Amino acid sequence: MSWTIDTSGKVWLRNLNQFDSTFLGCCYNFYIDSTTQYGMLMWSWVQVAAVTANPLTLYVSSKSTAGNVTIVVKE
């Protein structure tokens, strides 16, 4: 999974469709707002999962519309 952080503190995620084909493809369509307490927690779970190669599930309001990640579930 590719990601970038913008100056407002949003962590933008890209190419989620490589893991689940029902997500929008290409670009940075989904984000985690790391300026909130829950956003910081979600972002840390993503980082830990990446380092430890453990699965996790990202939930969004709509996979076909760009927007924020609402829930991260560690597997």
Q: Which domain holds residue 39?
A: 2-74
Residues ≥6 apart with Cβ < 8 Å to 70: 59, 60, 61
pLDDT of 75 reads 77
pLDDT of 26 reads 86
Does residue 69 come out as left (phi exceeding 0), alpha (psi in the -120 to 50 range) or beta? beta
Start-end of H helices in the chain = 37-52
Q: Dump pLDDT digits (tens) for 51-66.
A: 999 999 999 999 999 9
Structural domains in the chain (count):
1
Q: Do residues 17 and 24 make contact, with C-beta atoms less than 8 angstroms apart?
A: yes
Q: Do residues 55 and 75 make contact, with C-beta atoms less than 8 angstroms apart?
A: yes
